[in-house]
Structure 1
């Protein structure tokens, strides 16, 4: 094959990265009765920084707990309810459809909850950005366990009451 022929072939688009972002207490809790059981404004600012310009994938209950699409981000909401819709968001009926849709939208695909969505996406994720909250509150929603031997901690930032930890898949 000539050099001209190779150069004329279209380049493959890079694969979209899948990043899971969550705040997780020491006991694995991420929520209680549809709410976050702590208030860390600095972590909210961190979430905004790492997700702005990207596409969020989240479950319906998580979206409804937020109450609106977040500015500067595109949102894909996962729900099995065929009649559910909301202004300003895309809707997908299963994770595969959500990921395919999100891959066509701006930025990385950011998995933003809840527990079932995190669990379903764990095997597909390239990176986890976890806020490790130094509390052990009561809660009814847990971040899924993951095999840390498949991940490498690449960065840790200590803050008052929490650490922000980046994990990349080995």
Structure 2
């Protein structure tokens, strides 16, 4: 069975971004992101790609955009969820990395969630949908503190059968 994982960092109030950037800088989170996604396809929306600014090395980069004329070197472009699902159908493990609209679409398709819960309420203009505890089972939690004294947890979920 194909594994579709969402990987996201969010605050207590479900904020994931502000002005196309992350509202925090947590090196441990970036290291975990790289470790989990390396060697696997990553799916993102155009705004997320623009915020990163380049294809991420060591991964197949797939961008969903409504702009059918988009051509980005090192990136596969798809214009619909159906064309994306056709493109990834033979992939063993795919990571969905954002942003807000892409997360909303894929939450129903995801089998796993890798969440960095940032213990803070922050202002933002992009949010992660509220998780249904009846649909997701927590299978791992690691509490950490950044060098800037920001408390956060790595929390892993699997979809309930």
Q: TM-score, normalising length from structure 2?
A: 0.93
The residue correspondences of 1:89-168 to structure 2 (distance < 5 A) are 89-105=75-91, 107-160=92-145, 161-168=151-158
Separation in 2, partners of 1:140, 1:33: 7
Give the number of aligned pairs: 155
- Runs in 1 of length 4+ with deviation above 3 angstroms? none
Are 1:62 and 1:113, in contact at CA under 8 Å, matched by a contact in 2? Answer: yes
Residue aligning to 1:48: 34
- In the TM superposition, residue 52 of structure 1 has moved relative to its aligned partner by 0.4
User: How far did 1:35 drift?
Assistant: 0.4
Query: Aligned residue for 1:169?
Result: 159
Structure 1 unpaired stretches of 5+: 1-14
CA drift at 1:146: 2.3
Unaligned runs of 5+ in 2: 146-150
- In terms of fraction of residues, the more helix-rich structure is 1
Aligned Cα root-mean-square deviation (Å): 1.0
SS across alignment from 1:124: coil
Higher fraction of strand: 2
What is the TM-score when the length of structure 1 is the normalising length? 0.88
SS at match of 1:101: helix
Q: 1:10-89 counterparts in 2 under 5 A?
A: 15-89=1-75
